[in-house]
Homo-oligomer: A and B are copies of this chain.
């Protein structure tokens, strides 16, 4: 018996309030989104005075909607690890703050030069370029501040039972840094107008998008402090799930950039082709890209098999990622 079997029998009173069999996925995801929204609202600064414009820009960048896919993955993995709800809120907010900062910087004129995001003007359009740069930098720092809060002594939580905050921060930093998201964006920049083969595209996407999606799962899991008690096999299975679903997300993104609806997506469609960016669709063709997404979806679900019913939410988020229309 693995710890995750135990997890099924010991539902987390603080987070998984409902019976997983009774609460629909729609209700569960609405509940998760409203939790992370509340946490983001709480940690984002509101100060007036000389910092008002910067803080307003930070709130504009983060609280303007978004699918909250990374928080959903964190909550789903946290439910599997019977994590404390408060710890999961911090994890969910931290990964979303990193994601939000990356969008603000990615939209800047020197990067993708995008004017529309989540159906609204991008930060540098609504404010100005310098403010957008600083908004991104400040959100980046805030993500680590929020996660570091998990390492502070809390009443009623013995130090040994606290989430391994330093490990979580190291993993988040690596996923966001030059070997992860920032590195993927550097490859993406160099790829404009270039011919990339399939391996090169996969490397780019694993870094650019995959690393942050995978670490969202990993941090949700670590929030349950399961690393000390769970078999290596479970950790490896979760890693396989993260890798497969992280890549699937991007393949679907590439497909939606060709087939999607601008209004539904809240961003410009057809940008990849207009920018001469190599994508899964440009390399494989639309049909093979669709099949590849399905294969990755299958691999992701297979990786979850050892967890049985406890992985219900992860399975459902995987379905959401692959079957989404925006």
Chain A contact residues, CB within 8 Å of chain B: 45, 47, 50-51, 53-55, 58, 105, 108, 110-111, 128-131, 133-134, 136-138, 140-142, 144-145, 147-152, 159, 164-167, 169-170, 172-174, 176-179, 182-183, 185-187, 189-190, 200, 203-204
Chain B residues with Cβ below 8 Å from A164 are 151
CB pair A173–B150 under 8 Å, yes or no, is no
Which of A151, A152, A200 is the most central at the interface, judged by chain B CB atoms within 10 Å of its CB? A151
The listed residue (B166, B177, B187) touching A142 by CB distance below 8 A is B177
B150 in contact with A166 (CB, 8 Å): yes
- Complex formed: what's the CA distance from A151 to B144 in Å? 14
Which of B129, B144, B189 contacts A173 (CB under 8 A)? B144
Bound CA–CA A162/B167 (angstroms): 14
Number of copies: 2
Centre residue among A149, A164, A169 by max chain B CB count within 10 A = A169
Residues of B close to A176: CB separation below 8 A: 137, 141
Query: Are B110 and A186 closer than 8 Å at their CB atoms?
Result: no
Q: Across the interface, do A170 and B149 meet the contact criterion of CB distance under 8 Å? A: yes
> Given contacts A51-B187, A151-B169, could you give 17 more A-B pairs where the C-beta distance is less than 8 Å?
A50-B187, A50-B200, A53-B190, A54-B178, A105-B137, A110-B130, A131-B189, A134-B182, A137-B176, A138-B183, A145-B173, A145-B174, A149-B166, A149-B170, A151-B164, A159-B159, A165-B166
Q: How many Å lie between the Cα of A200 and that of B51 in the bound state?
A: 12
| A42–B17 CA distance with the chains assembled, in angstroms | 47
